[in-house]
Amino acid sequence: MAKQGKKMKEALGKVDRKVKYELKEALKLAREISFAKFDESMDVAVNLGVDPRKADQNIRGSVVLPKGTGKKFRILVFAKGEKEIEARDAGADLVGGEDMVKKIQGGWLDFDRVVATPDMMGQVGKLGKILGPRGMMPNPKTGTVTFEVKKAIEEIQAGKVDFRVDKGGIVHATLGKVAFSVEDLVENYNTLIATLVKMKPASSKGHYVKGISVSTTMGTGVKVAYVP
């Protein structure tokens, strides 16, 4: 443990907390100061100049990362009739209705993403206190409450990322895996930031993007110089 502690100390010494690094350099540094033994994600935190308490500034949405996330998601779809068949044909791992609602209420959570057709939301709404805190509650703003079931499933499989500003005005999202090339991470980063910039509320005054940092799942943050 002492040897690993020494490595971590040396790695952290490479990062100047007062400096905002060029994006590629920041990504490389984030990798260098990570010593986790599992396949970590490369994440980003974007501090926005918004007040989440105001409805028009409560930023929430989704974006399909061009290089994907590097993750395989188990997708649960709430649908019936033709839409149930469409979901299965599109590759949904699980499809159901009231049966799935009761199963989840009983403590079952063996899935990662949830999609629901609008006519099923009366039942799915019962799961708000379970799925909501886990960030899995279907929502029209993220395209997960829709009759376009096939499209929703394909977007998730392609690398769709949902995001929502927290109480501190920060959006947390993944950029992919540490094993991705720097070029792929940069492309995903640029797509995410461009999406957030387009969502700037008219009522947001001053600097909209106040700060950005990247980090691996278990690593410390490295500040990124924002270039509009």
Residue 1 confidence (pLDDT): 39
Q: What CATH number does residue 53 fall under?
A: 3.30.190.20
Task: Please check whether residue 103 lies inside any domain of the structure.
Answer: yes
Q: What CATH number does residue 147 fall under?
A: 3.40.50.790
Same domain, yes or no, for 154 and 122? yes
Least confident segment among 12-16, 33-37, 80-84, 210-214: 12-16
Question: 94 forms bridges with which residues in the sheet?
Answer: 76
Question: 149 forms bridges with which residues in the sheet?
Answer: none
pLDDT digits (tens, 9 = 90+) for 152-188: 999 999 999 999 999 999 999 999 999 999 999 999 9
Same domain, yes or no, for 98 and 204? no
Residue 35 confidence (pLDDT): 74
Residue 82 confidence (pLDDT): 97
pLDDT digits (tens, 9 = 90+) for 30-55: 988 887 778 899 999 999 999 999 99
Task: Please check whether residue 118 lies inside any domain of the structure.
Answer: yes
Same domain, yes or no, for 140 and 89? yes
Q: Which of 102, 137, 158 is the last residue of a domain?
A: 158
Q: Is residue 40 within 8 Å of 177, Cβ to Cβ?
A: yes
Same domain, yes or no, for 147 and 203? no
Residue 12 confidence (pLDDT): 65
Tokens of 137: 């509650």
pLDDT digits (tens, 9 = 90+) for 121-136: 999 999 999 999 998 9
Does pLDDT of 148 surpass 60? yes
Q: What is the distance between the alpha carbons of residues 205 and 162, in angstroms, rounded to a whole number?
A: 25
Task: Please check whether residue 120 lies inside any domain of the structure.
Answer: yes
The mean pLDDT of 12-16, rounded to a whole number, is: 73
pLDDT digits (tens, 9 = 90+) for 60-102: 999 999 999 998 899 999 999 999 999 999 999 999 999 999 9
Residue 8 confidence (pLDDT): 60
Does pLDDT of 2 surpass 50? no
Contacts 24+ apart (CB under 8 A), 130-135: 130/104, 130/105, 131/104, 134/109, 135/162, 135/164
Domain coverage including residue 22: 18-69+160-224
Give the H or E element holding residue 10: helix 2-12
Q: Which residues contact 117 (CB under 8 A, 6 or more apart)?
A: 78, 79, 80, 83, 145, 146, 147, 149
- Sort strands 60-64 and 94-96 into parallel, antiparallel or unpaired: unpaired
Same domain, yes or no, for 58 and 170? yes
Query: What's the domain count of the chain?
Result: 2
